[in-house]
Amino acid sequence: MSAGERRVDPWRFAGGFIQRALSAAIPDQPAHDPIPWTPVAKPLCESKVALLSTAGLSMKGDAPFDMEMERRNPMRGDPSWRRLAADATSASVEANHLHIDTGYIEQDLNVALPLDRLRELVEAGEVGSMAEHHYSIMGYQGNDTTALVNESAPAIAEAMKIDEVDLALLAPV
């Protein structure tokens, strides 16, 4: 790590007791590189923002996430990704994920992809603009995140660069 470079502390808001309890409860934690911290380049009110959901969302008509893989091995989810339209609604999106109750998403997409909340922030002038596309992956990848890290994440980052996205907000489910 170079001088002045910052790293994300995944336990920052958890506290020591929670960190110890969760760390002890997660067997065989995979080793990974430290998460890089990227300073914000411009004010939020001038930034284009995209959302990234971990709910296994896809636009209806697009290929859904592979739930058969998840059924065969409940510790492993589909590591691919999907592009979502900025005007997506509960009616135009499918949620394919066995580890979450997708009924809530069918009722209100904002529980997994808070597009309406982001739109409100844009309208209030708090956020500069909303990206034309948003993204989804399937959370619950187990210990093998190779494809997610080496294939899906770089592809999503490249798509965001093409869309000139300044900030991405993770909407974990």
Q: What is the pLDDT of residue 89?
A: 94
Which residues, 6 or more positions from 169, have their beta carbon under 8 angstroms from its beta carbon? 49, 50, 51, 52, 118
CB count, 10 Å around CB of 2? 4
What is the domain partition of the chain in residue ranges? 45-171
Q: To 5 degrees, how large is the angle CA 170–CA 172–CA 173?
A: 155
Asked if 136 and 54 touch (Cβ cutoff 8 Å), the reply is: yes
Q: What pLDDT, in 10s, does the model give residues 99-114?
A: 888 889 999 999 999 9
Question: Between the CA of residue 112 and those of 25, 63, 122, 155, 163, what are the distances in Å?
Answer: 26, 19, 19, 21, 22
Torsion of CA 172, 152, 51, 45, to 10 degrees: 130
What is the pTM assigned to this prediction?
Answer: 0.80
Q: What pLDDT, in 10s, does the model give residues 75-134?
A: 778 999 999 999 999 999 999 988 888 889 999 999 999 999 999 999 999 999 999 999
CA distance 159 to 70: 26
Find the mean pLDDT for residues 142-167. 92
Asked if 83 and 133 touch (Cβ cutoff 8 Å), the reply is: yes
